[in-house]
């Protein structure tokens, strides 16, 4: 090979198996590589056989299942179960580091009217575009999740409640001024926000 990934040789030496990624005609393919020792009889060593098993379909299916278990299908942000896990971990880290944190929760006002007037496909489009709009404003360390139908929650790392309030106001204003479009319809929405956090050091 011109280039092999890290662990290729050591894995084959230790276990006789290794998973690797190769490019074939511009397409990424996943392979399980297996090293077998060839012998004639019990003792006579004659060489090695390196076998490649294409496991691309399996890997893609596993990635799809992981995606479904982690992200909300419609908005492509974390689902509530994953939020609890990640926010708990981030909270524990904040306690250890004595750093600030806060939560922002919001829901879209009278969102049922969007579905009733323009249809559920329009509602789905608004939710997806809204989530994308919010994500562009958040920091990479913030944890954004769909909490319910039109309810959303954000764990804010390294922000005290005052900073989280400023962020919530920015998000509220941005969403209130944003125009969503669906089938030539212009749709406006507003959102109600709540902010919670600790102003002092949190200890367990």
**Of 150, 151, 169, 181, which is the active-site residue?**
150
Do 148 and 79 touch, CB atoms closer than 8 A? no
CA distances (Å), origin 192, targets 61, 84, 166, 180: 38, 22, 14, 18
Closest to 74 (Cα-Cα) out of 128, 126, 121: 128
Task: For residue 56, give both structure tokens.
Answer: 């691309």
150 is a catalytic site residue: yes
Count Cβ atoms below 10 Å from residue 158 Cβ, excluding itself.
Answer: 15
Give the catalytic positions in this structure.
Answer: 150
């Amino acid at each position: 090979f011109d280039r092999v990934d890290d662990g290729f040789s050591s894995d084959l030496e230790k276990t006789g198996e290794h998973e690797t990624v190769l490019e074939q005609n511009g397409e990424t393919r996943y392979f399980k590589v297996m090293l077998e020792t060839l012998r004639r009889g019990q003792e006579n060593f004659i060489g090695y056989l390196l076998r490649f098993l294409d496991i691309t379909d399996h890997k893609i299916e596993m990635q799809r299942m992981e995606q479904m278990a982690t992200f909300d299908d419609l908005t492509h942000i974390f689902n509530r179960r994953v939020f609890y896990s990640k926010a708990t971990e981030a909270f524990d880290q904040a306690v250890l580091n004595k750093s600030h944190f806060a939560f922002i929760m919001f829901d879209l006002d009278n969102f049922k009217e969007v579905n009733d007037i323009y249809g559920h496909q329009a509602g789905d489009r608004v939710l997806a575009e809204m989530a994308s709009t919010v994500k562009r404003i958040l920091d990479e360390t913030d944890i954004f999740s769909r909490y319910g139908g039109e309810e959303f929650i954000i764990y804010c790392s390294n922000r005290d409640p005052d900073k989280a309030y400023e962020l919530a106001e920015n998000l509220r204003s941005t969403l209130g001024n944003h125009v969503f479009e669906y089938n030539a319809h212009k749709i406006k929405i507003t959102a109600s926000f709540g902010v919670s956090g600790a102003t002092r050091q949190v200890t367990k």
